[in-house]
């Protein structure tokens, strides 16, 4: 009897401690629901360090990879299949990133960067999409994706929104699926940089990315 009670207690505790996202992920696995494939593209890498700060020494390529790995974790908890264009500190040409995404038949492409500016007061988060005139469906869905993700990142971080902007970066222009490029804050702004250096803050941005993808899928897929 005591053993039975103990087993029930353990079972209830396990159930209560399971995070809702994990329960959802298990449900997706068990029902074998196919969720969209997402490409996360950590900006720069290897010899291409991206934006650099001397004091304290920071490299964009490392921060973009840290944020990408956190976003991957949260998206996988929601049941998405996530593919990375780079999982370590190595250089991947932009064209290769595009080819990789197109060949993987991914449904969503998210490139992750941090910003810099000679004006140290510049701060906030902005997201770029390509306003393609040849592919209006891609332009519209990319815009929707950018709006969903920006809104969720701002909710989580309380950072300043610099809005959704049009851009012609190769990774968002030449990919075939809805594609966006996140500039997740300015390394040149002392206050924002202090936040970005903390894992707890990167965690908030990555949760915003994952929840933004989820809002986009629920609204438009
Ligand atoms: Zn960059």
| Per-domain boundaries in the chain | 37-220
Structure tokens at 126: 């902005």
Which pTM does this prediction carry?
0.85
Percent of the chain with pLDDT over 90: 81
C-alpha–C-alpha distance, residues 165 and 214, integer Å: 21
pLDDT tens, residue by residue, 169-201? 999 999 999 999 999 999 999 999 999 999 999
Report the pLDDT value the prediction gives residue 17, as an integer from 0 to 100: 40
* Mean pLDDT computed over 43-47: 97
C-alpha–C-alpha distance, residues 126 and 166, integer Å: 10
Report the pLDDT value the prediction gives residue 205, as an integer from 0 to 100: 98
Q: List phi, psi (to 5°) of 180.
A: -140, 160
- Say yes or no: domain 37-220 is CATH 3.30.2320.80: no
Residue 31 pLDDT exceeds 90:
no
CA of 53 to the centre of ligand 1 (A): 13
Q: List phi, psi (to 5°) of 32.
A: 45, 45
CA of 144 to the centre of ligand 1 (A): 22
CA of 172 to the centre of ligand 1 (A): 13
């Amino acid at each position: 009897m005591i053993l039975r009670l103990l087993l029930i207690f353990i079972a209830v505790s396990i159930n209560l401690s399971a995070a809702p996202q994990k329960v959802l992920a298990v449900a997706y696995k068990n029902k074998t629901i196919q969720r969209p494939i997402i490409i996360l593209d950590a900006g720069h890498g290897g010899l291409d360090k991206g934006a650099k700060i001397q004091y304290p020494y920071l490299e964009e390529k490392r921060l973009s990879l840290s944020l990408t790995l956190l976003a991957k974790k949260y998206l996988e908890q929601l049941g998405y299949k996530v593919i990375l264009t780079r999982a370590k500190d190595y250089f991947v040409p932009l064209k290769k990133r595009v080819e990789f995404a197109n060949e993987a038949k991914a449904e969503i492409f998210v490139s992750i960067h941090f910003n810099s500016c000679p004006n140290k007061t510049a701060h906030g988060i902005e997201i770029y999409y390509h306003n393609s005139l040849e592919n209006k469906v891609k332009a519209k869905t990319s815009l929707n994706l950018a709006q969903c993700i920006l809104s969720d990142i701002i909710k989580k971080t309380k950072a300043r929104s610099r809005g959704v902007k049009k851009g012609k970066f190769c990774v968002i222009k030449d990919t075939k699926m809805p594609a966006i490029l996140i500039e997740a804050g300015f390394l040149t702004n002392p206050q924002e940089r202090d936040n970005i250096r903390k894992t707890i803050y990167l965690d908030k941005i990555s949760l915003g990315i994952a929840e933004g993808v989820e809002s986009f899928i629920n609204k438009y897929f």
